[in-house]
A and B are shown apart, each in its own frame.
Chain A
């Protein structure tokens, strides 16, 4: 039975207005709300390279393991990750914190490319597969002051660059790629050895791993190399192994190099004037613009007339450069990004900017960075969008499909993509949330 108070029919406009004004206001974002930094991974998971153990060993018995993660998946990390690198079946994440733990590794560890990961079952042995991001103990002199600037991964070795203690190398050294003398019959599995390199003409500012060689770029603009040289990828004028980082000459002698790149057996370097230099494998027409030989063991200037080059990235069979105007040029062999008809070219061809979202409606979209995996490419725009193309090996493109992608395709990431690292069959991206 209704009392005498209360309205008889639907609430009047005044009552609605009063109820609205009296309603409580909820606050979802406080004053200190900041954009959060996150890490997203995708690709082949069974090697442990994605760092999600439940993909390989599900928590519940009835759940099935996830072999391939086809779309970006968030990886929880303890610290903000400033640099990431994907190797052949393993990943390194680094933070530029002053805390003791600065580098984490996950994935394949059969050559101790992730350092020594003590096994819990047998304290004398190490893990061969690391399924979640595990700290890598670096032998730092001042662990609470030194910062890790950058990491890089190759086929079975890794390089860690610090700001004041040089470069640390670990992993396979059968070709001298770790910058130390090759020990015959050395067993790399379960090794505690992490080598430190400090002898360069100035501070090292960038480290790059090729498949079985390492490149170091110093502040003065010189490039050092060590490792396997059968394709001339060390650029030292011979085809032998080098086990000590040695300075490169050739066309880059005296040139201020501002960026080097390599992932397979071909290497590219960009000078401060916007010129491109290349050396190494040229079986896939990567250096065919200057020579017919399939191996080039001395850096050669590539006379491209495409404008001032800002950044270059080398893949296994294809290369990509980004010019100052924001245009992307590709050449080499494979799926280059201009449809299925372009399989190989020795001369760079431009990818139309409309494929990256530029149109009359949004005319100021530009590509800001380019990255290369073994057989795939990635481009980051100034709006924080990630575009990928190339061979979709075990879902490494992150498009949600398993087919190869013949032209740049947007990857849906819930955030603004700041940087991306491409591997053979997986990718890692550093993303900032929107709000």
Chain B
């Protein structure tokens, strides 16, 4: 035996058994569920749930939160599927349309939908409870109902184009396109929908959403972590 103490130094060497090409991909099956539908011609926030998040998706659906869309429209044309890519049905004049007239129509849409909000919420109108909820503006249908618009306003108006911000419940994007068409009819002209973009789905806004360039594991994990608290508070507030 020679001189001083023998120090054991751990050296790490790569093991072939750990290599992904030997072991296989880390995630073979991922349970991914989709939230509220977004059709092919629309864009915007689309909520997905991964693994255990699918249960949260069902809970979020039962919260019946409003979604916000930015809808772009064009006066002067009417097509068969209400969007600018459909077959032309009719062309009309539109120079008599003013922002004031448009806002009047929007006020009426909001008004009739407010009534629908109260009617489909299944609350007995004769109770004091119904009055208090109506004052706070917390009445909304907590079950199945036809599409309801809770708020509309005109963001931009430059003939022939215009842009609306729509807050709605239980809607489909085709319903919003049909609404643009009907606004055109009410104004004694015609309108088609050029774009539908969802800017908010319940608690998820455009800022939380990941663009195409960030569809990788690290960003997804970070996004889930950031939204966790928001989702939990909302679920607790609504479902108790």
Say which one of A103-111, A181-189, A279-287, A350-358 lies at the interface with B: A350-358
**Size of B's binding interface in residues, CB under 8 A:** 36
- The reply to whether B187 and A435 form a contact with Cβ atoms under 8 Å apart is yes
- The reply to whether B93 and A410 form a contact with Cβ atoms under 8 Å apart is no
Q: Which of A27, A31, A359, A434 is within 8 Å of B137, CB to CB?
A: A359
Within 8 A of A (CB), among B180-221: 186-189
Complexed CA–CA distance, A406 and B186 (Å): 33
Complexed CA–CA distance, A55 and B91 (Å): 41
**Which of B's residues lie within 8 Å of A, judged by CB?**
76-77, 88, 90-93, 96, 101, 104-105, 107-108, 110-112, 114-115, 125-128, 130-132, 134-137, 151, 153, 167, 186-189
Among residues of B, the one whose C-beta sits closest to the C-beta of A383 is B107
- The reply to whether A27 and B126 form a contact with Cβ atoms under 8 Å apart is no
A-B contact sample (6 more), CB < 8 A, given A26-B91, A403-B125, A407-B131: A23-B91, A28-B92, A29-B96, A33-B96, A355-B135, A361-B153
Say which one of A73-81, A201-209, A317-325, A334-342 lies at the interface with B: A334-342
- The reply to whether A404 and B126 form a contact with Cβ atoms under 8 Å apart is yes
Interface range on chain A (Cβ under 8 Å from partner): 35 or more
Contacts of B110 in A (CB 8 A): 357, 362
Within 8 A of B (CB), among A8-44: 16, 19-20, 23-29, 31, 33
B99 to chain A, nearest CB (A): 13
Known: A25-B92, A361-B153, A416-B104. A405 touches B188 (CB 8 A): no
Q: Mark A379-408, 1 if CB is under 8 A from B, else 0.
A: 000011100000000000000000111110
- The reply to whether A361 and B114 form a contact with Cβ atoms under 8 Å apart is no
- The reply to whether B188 and A28 form a contact with Cβ atoms under 8 Å apart is yes
Complexed CA–CA distance, A28 and B101 (Å): 15
- The reply to whether A405 and B125 form a contact with Cβ atoms under 8 Å apart is yes
Contacts of A29 in B (CB 8 A): 93, 96, 188-189
Give me the 8 closest cross-chain CB pairs, A-B, nearest first: A339-B131, A29-B188, A28-B188, A339-B128, A27-B93, A25-B91, A352-B135, A341-B128
Among residues of B, the one whose C-beta sits closest to the C-beta of A412 is B112
Known: A26-B92, A340-B127. A435 touches B188 (CB 8 A): yes
Contacts of B91 in A (CB 8 A): 20, 23-26
Among residues of B, the one whose C-beta sits closest to the C-beta of A23 is B91
Q: Which of A25, A340, A357 is within 8 Å of B93, CB to CB?
A: A25
Of B96, B105, B125, B188, the most chain A CB neighbours within 10 A belong to B125
Known: A29-B93, A434-B108. A407 touches B126 (CB 8 A): no
Is A409's CB within 8 Å of the partner chain B?
Answer: yes
- The reply to whether A340 and B189 form a contact with Cβ atoms under 8 Å apart is no
Known: A26-B92, A29-B93. A340 touches B126 (CB 8 A): yes
Contacts of A355 in B (CB 8 A): 134-135
A and B contact pairs by CB, cutoff 8 A, 25 listed: A20-B77, A23-B90, A23-B91, A26-B91, A26-B92, A27-B92, A28-B92, A29-B188, A31-B96, A341-B128, A354-B134, A355-B134, A361-B153, A362-B110, A362-B151, A385-B111, A403-B125, A403-B126, A407-B130, A407-B135, A409-B115, A410-B112, A412-B115, A434-B186, A435-B187
Complexed CA–CA distance, A305 and B189 (Å): 51
A176 to chain B, nearest CB (A): 42
Complexed CA–CA distance, A405 and B115 (Å): 13
